Chains A and B, each alone.
Chain A
C-alpha cells in the first residue's frame, strides 16, 4: 500500500503549492455546490471573484476588509508559530473597539489631533489586556488558552451589547442600541476617492513589515519559533513555555485590538451591536492559509477579503446564500490542512517498486 514517509527537510515547493492547491480544490467544490443550488457556476464565480474588481467601490471594499484580516492574522500567526492557540481574536477586536469607542464618545466634541492616536493606543492595549487574561490563566493556572480565549470572546460580545444598550447609548437615538456618531477627529481619513478605504490600511501594512522583521530577523522571533517547534529545546535556545504564551497572546491581542479601533474609527464611525463580521475567526484561517508567514498572509488576507465582498455580491446578484462565505472559509482550511501533509511527508510507493524507481532502500 502507498504510505507516508517523513521528509528529512520540509519541502519549500510544497509549501508554496499547498495554498494554491487548497484554493483550487475549494473552487472545484464551490462549482459543485453552486450547481446543486441550481445556479450556473460560471455566473456565480463571476459574481464572487470578478465582479468586485469591476467597480472602484468594489476594489475599495476588498481593500477595506483586507485591513482588519491582515492585522489580526499577522498577530495570530506569531502566536500560532509558537503553538499558542489564540482563537479569541474576535473578542480582543471587540475590546479594542469598545475602549476606542468610549474615548471617542467621551471626547465627542474634541478636534484634537491626538484623539485618534490615543484611541489607537488605548484600543491596542485593550486587545492585549483581554488576551492577557488568557495568558495569565494559562501560565498561573494551567488553564487551556483555546477555551479561555473563546469564552472571553463571548463575554466581550455581551459587554458590547450591555454598553450600547446602556451606558454608551446615544441618549437622542430613539433607544436604538448604538452610540452617538464619532466626531471627525476620531475617524481615519479617507484614502481613495469614492470608496470607504481609509488610512488605517497603512497601519495594517506597517504591522506586516514589523511582523516580517520580528519573525524573520529578530532573536525573540526565532526563540518564539523554537518554543513552538521543539518545546524540549526551548529551555536552551528558545523561550520557556510561559514566556512564549505571554508573547504570543499579547501580540495577537494587540493586533486584534488595533483592528477593532480601525473598524469603529473607520467604516462604522460609532459603536453598535454588529462591529465585526467574524474577522477574528476568519483571520485564523488567513493565518494558516498564508503559511503563518508574513508575506503569505498578505495574499491570504486579500483572498479572504475577496470572499467576503464577493459573497455579498453573489448573494445580491445571483442569489447565492450568504452561508457560502462561511462554507468557503471552512473548505479552504480543510483542504489546506489536507495538502499540508506533503510539506513534511512524501508518499512512498509500495515496497519493491520504490528501490527500482528512486533508488531509496535505506529507510524501507
Chain B
C-alpha cells in the first residue's frame, strides 16, 4: 500500500510535468488574447523532434532545444494565420494541430516504437535520502523542478512585472493597448511563439523522460487537456498547476487500481481523464462570474489595427 502511494506521488509529478509546460505556455498566449488550440499537434511535434534529436546526438539538452524550436516554428505558422491573415482562431488552431500531428509522424517515422534511456534523476544529497518523500519528491529529473519553477516565474511575470501588464492590456483591449502605444500584434506574436516553445518542451518531456519512447499518437489528447486546464485554473498559473497535478494523479489511477486488484475495465480507466475533464469543466464554467472575471476580454477575437 505504502509502496503504491510512493509510486503514485512520484508518478504524479512526472506525469503532470508535460502538462505544466504546455499549460504555462498556453496561459501566456490566452492572456494576450489569442486562443491557440493546436497544443496537441505542437506537443506531438516536440515529442517526436526531441526524441529523434536526443537519440541522434545523445544529448537531452539538444533534444529539448530542438523540440522547442520545432514547435515554435509550428506556432509561427499559427501566428501568421491568426494574427497576419486574421483567420478564425479556432479553425487556425485545428489546422496547425493537424499539421503538427502529420509532422510528428513524418519526423519520427524511422524511430517508431524505439526507446531511449530516460533522463537522469537529480541527486539532491540528503533530501533525496529522506524516507518516503526523498525517492519521490526529491529524485526526479531536472525538468520536473524547472516546470515548478516556470509556474512561479510565469505567475510573477503576469501579475507583477511590466511585461505582464503589457500582455494583459493587449489581451483585455487591443484597441486601448494600441492607443497607449503597445505593439499589439508583436506582443501577441511573441506570446504565441513562447507558447509554442513551451508546448514543444512539454512534448519532449513525454518522450525523453516520462515514457521514454516514441510512438505515433503518444500525446493521446494531452494537448486538449492542457487547453481545458487553462479554463479550470481560471487563467491563474498556480491553479492551473494544481489542476495539472490532479490530472497527473488521475492518469496513474489505472496502474494503482489494478495493483490493488480491483476489477474495473481498463477502458473505463483510460477514459477517466476525459470524463473527469468534462465534469470539472462543467462545474467550473457553471459559475459565469468566475469565468467572466478572469477570462481575457478579447480572447479569440481577431484584431486589425485601423488607422
Binding site for B on A (CB under 8 A): 3-4, 6, 85, 87, 137, 141-144, 146-148, 150-152, 154-155, 158-159, 161-162, 165-166, 281, 284-285, 288, 321-331, 333-334, 336-338, 340-341, 344-345
- Give the contacting residue for A330; candidates B37, B102, B231, B282; CB below 8 A: B102
B304 / chain A contacts, CB cutoff of 8 Å: 4, 6, 345
> Is B99 a contact partner of A330 (Cβ separation < 8 A)?
yes
Give the contacts of B204-255 with A (CB-CB under 8 A).
221, 224, 227-228, 231
**A329 and B98 contact, Cβ closer than 8 Å, known pairs A162-B267, A166-B265, A341-B87:** yes
**A155 and B286 contact, Cβ closer than 8 Å, known pairs A143-B281, A281-B98:** no
**A155 and B81 contact, Cβ closer than 8 Å, known pairs A142-B288, A144-B231, A330-B98:** no
> Is B95 a contact partner of A334 (Cβ separation < 8 A)?
yes
Known: A158-B271, A326-B105. 20 other contacts (CB 8 A): A137-B278, A141-B282, A143-B281, A144-B285, A147-B227, A151-B221, A151-B224, A159-B271, A161-B267, A166-B265, A285-B95, A288-B91, A323-B105, A323-B109, A327-B103, A329-B102, A330-B96, A334-B95, A337-B81, A338-B87
* B85 at the A interface (CB under 8 A): yes
> Is A284 a contact partner of B94 (Cβ separation < 8 A)?
yes
What is the distance, in angstroms, from B247's C-beta to the closest C-beta of chain A? 12
* B88 at the A interface (CB under 8 A): yes
The 10 closest A-B pairs by CB, nearest first: A330-B99, A327-B102, A323-B105, A326-B102, A333-B95, A330-B98, A337-B87, A158-B271, A162-B267, A141-B282
> Is A330 a contact partner of B285 (Cβ separation < 8 A)?
no
What is the distance, in angstroms, from A146's C-beta to the closest C-beta of chain B? 7
> Is B109 a contact partner of A146 (Cβ separation < 8 A)?
no
What is the distance, in angstroms, from A32's C-beta to the closest C-beta of chain B? 13
> Is B102 a contact partner of A323 (Cβ separation < 8 A)?
yes
What is the distance, in angstroms, from A92's C-beta to the closest C-beta of chain B? 15
What is the distance, in angstroms, from B105's C-beta to the closest C-beta of chain A? 3
**A337 and B274 contact, Cβ closer than 8 Å, known pairs A4-B304, A141-B285, A330-B100:** no
Q: What's the Cα separation between A229 and B270 when bound, in Å? A: 39
B102 / chain A contacts, CB cutoff of 8 Å: 323-330
A341 / chain B contacts, CB cutoff of 8 Å: 85-87
What is the distance, in angstroms, from A116's C-beta to the closest C-beta of chain B? 29
**A146 and B90 contact, Cβ closer than 8 Å, known pairs A154-B221, A159-B267, A330-B99:** yes
Binding site for A on B (CB under 8 A): 37, 41, 77, 80-81, 85-88, 90-92, 94-103, 105-106, 109, 221, 224, 227-228, 231, 265, 267-268, 270-271, 274-275, 277-278, 281-283, 285-286, 288, 291, 304, 307
What is the distance, in angstroms, from A350's C-beta to the closest C-beta of chain B? 12
Please, which residue of chain B has its CB at the minimum distance from the CB of A154? B274
A85 / chain B contacts, CB cutoff of 8 Å: 90
Q: What's the Cα separation between A85 and B85 when bound, in Å? A: 21
B227 / chain A contacts, CB cutoff of 8 Å: 146-147
What is the distance, in angstroms, from B257's C-beta to the closest C-beta of chain A? 15
**A333 and B105 contact, Cβ closer than 8 Å, known pairs A148-B281, A151-B224:** no
B41 / chain A contacts, CB cutoff of 8 Å: 330
Q: What's the Cα separation between A224 and B237 when bound, in Å? A: 37
> Is A333 a contact partner of B231 (Cβ separation < 8 A)?
no
Q: What's the Cα separation between A158 and B231 when bound, in Å? A: 25
> Is A4 a contact partner of B99 (Cβ separation < 8 A)?
no
> Is A151 a contact partner of B274 (Cβ separation < 8 A)?
yes
- Give the contacting residue for B85; candidates A150, A288, A322, A338; CB below 8 A: A338
> Is B105 a contact partner of A158 (Cβ separation < 8 A)?
no
A288 / chain B contacts, CB cutoff of 8 Å: 91
B88 / chain A contacts, CB cutoff of 8 Å: 337
B274 / chain A contacts, CB cutoff of 8 Å: 151-152, 154-155
B91 / chain A contacts, CB cutoff of 8 Å: 288, 333, 337
> Is B109 a contact partner of A334 (Cβ separation < 8 A)?
no
A328 / chain B contacts, CB cutoff of 8 Å: 102
- Give the contacting residue for A334; candidates B99, B105, B231, B286; CB below 8 A: B99
B221 / chain A contacts, CB cutoff of 8 Å: 150-151, 154
26 A–B pairs (Cβ distance < 8 Å), ordered by A: A141-B283, A141-B286, A143-B286, A144-B281, A144-B285, A146-B90, A146-B227, A147-B224, A147-B228, A150-B221, A151-B228, A151-B274, A154-B221, A155-B275, A159-B267, A165-B267, A281-B98, A285-B94, A321-B106, A325-B102, A327-B103, A330-B41, A334-B81, A337-B92, A338-B80, A338-B85
Please, which residue of chain B has its CB at the minimum distance from the CB of A36? B106
